Amino acid sequence: MKQRKAWKVVKEAIDEADIIIEVVDARDPIGTRNRKLERLVQERGKPLLMVMNKADLVPKEWAEEYKRKSEIPVVFISARGRKGTGILRREIKKLAKPLLDEREKVKVALIGYPNVGKSTIINTLKGKRAVKTAPIPGHTTGKHLIRLSRKIWLLDSPGVVPIDDFDELVIKGGFPADKIDEPVKPALRLISRILKTRKEAITEKFGIEAKSEEEILRRIGERRGLIKAGGEVDLEETARWLLREWQTGRFTLFASEEEREREFTWDFKEILGEVEKELLLDPRRILWRFEDELWKKLDGQKRAGIREIEGLTVGIATGFKKCDSALKFLEELTGKSVLASECFGKKWKGVIAILD
Ligand SMILES: Nc1nc2c(ncn2[C@@H]2O[C@H](COP(=O)(O)OP(=O)(O)OP(=O)(O)O)[C@@H](O)[C@H]2O)c(=O)[nH]1
Ligand SMILES: [Mg+2]
């Protein structure tokens, strides 16, 4: 849907409604806030409530901090996870109460960026699928009126963006990743944003540490096996894939509980440097040569290091209870399979592996 048309529909929704709810993405509340819309609402003197949605994708403290700073009342919810919707319902009732002294019914419009979850919130409040939702931005096109109770009605509206900056639009989920002709530029912008906000997220998700945005994108493509006929990484496909992961919430800045379980620190830079210099591509020889140093790294802390040497990958991991889990960990980290390995340790175990 064209943005111009969407804006027209949203303005109508604001005029028609008595109460306005601005929905923002909890992962990027500042970026998905729409000041232009807020001004429109305030000019009309209508009550405005902000809902930070997708709470399941960020830690609670993150949102609490934002909530404290906000000058507009904020409710923090996960529409998909059905969390906080009771509070939202109560807030809506509270705002509606004084208005209902004067009239029979009130209309509450949900407005905001594309893909922030406006339609999902309506469905969750209603308790059934009243309006269509989609992981693709720009899904809702018209105004839809849904009855929440006899007195309270909800108004769904299309997502609107105030900016002309296309890359920014894509990062904020305002344009579907699959439809972008030139996805590399917005993907690099996204990576740069992540590096500024929380660069550990890149290591946690992809197991790579790289300096430049381009290098990170290329290595993600390598990991995903997105290779062109000539053997080069398909940067466009990688960029689309990354943007899709971001837009659909599969990639977030904060690791999930399960991912945190797998947390580790990078180590063994020096040992791997020696291994590379001496071309020690045999786990047993590596253990023979560095046994003392490696035993010192055996404690409850998970450590890992990988190095690509002569087309193979040498991996070392310590701090595991079982050698098998350490090997599996290295396979997940590198996306490759173990060719040969050597296990060492007593209570805490470590492994040296060659992977391909
Ligand atoms: N993780 C997570 N995803 C959510 C949540 N709420 C909605 N989504 C997902 O976000 C995507 C967009 O949801 P919609 O409700 O269609 O978003 P919208 O704001 O109506 O989007 P437009 O109609 O395009 O403006 C869907 O894939 C939803 O499943 C949430 O609380 N957590
Ligand atoms: Mg919608």
The pLDDT value given to residue 256: 59
305-314 average pLDDT score: 92
The pTM assigned to this predicted structure is 0.59
CA of 352 to the centre of ligand 2 (A): 51
> Does the beta carbon of 119 sit less than 6 angstroms from any atom of ligand 1?
yes
Write down the CATH number for the domain with range 166-256. 1.10.1580.10
Q: What residue ranges do the domains of the chain occupy?
A: 3-156, 166-256, 264-355
| Cβ of residue 176 lying under 6 Å from some atom of ligand 1 | no
Kindly give the distance from the C-alpha atom of residue 249 to the centroid of ligand 1, in angstroms, as a whole number.
10
CATH of domain 3-156: 3.40.50.300
Question: Which residue's CA is the closest to the ligand 1 atom numbered 23?
Answer: 140
Mean pLDDT of 158-169: 78
Predicted confidence (pLDDT) at residue 146 exceeds the cutoff of 60: yes
Tokens 């390598």 found at: 222
Cβ-defined contacts of 290-299 (< 8 Å, 24+): 291/344, 294/318, 294/344, 294/350, 294/352, 295/344, 295/345, 297/267, 297/268, 297/350, 298/345, 298/346, 298/347, 298/348, 298/349, 298/350, 299/348
Looking from the CA of residue 136, the nearest atom of ligand 1 is 24
Out of 32, 56, 133, give the residue to mutate to test ligand 1, the one with the largest number of ligand atoms within 8 Å of its CB.
133
Per the model's pLDDT, the better-predicted residue between 329 and 200 turns out to be 329
The more confident residue out of 61 and 164 is 61
Ligand 2 center to residue 143 CA distance, Å? Answer: 10
Q: Mean pLDDT over all residues of the chain? A: 90
Q: How far away, in angstroms, is 8 Cα from ligand 1 center?
A: 22
Of the candidates 245, 259, 252, 263, the one whose C-alpha atom is nearest the C-alpha of residue 55 is: 252
Choice from 22, 32, 52, 115 to test ligand 1 binding pocket (greatest atom count within 8 A of CB): 115
Three-state DSSP class for residue 354: strand
Beta-bridge mates of residue 51: 23, 75
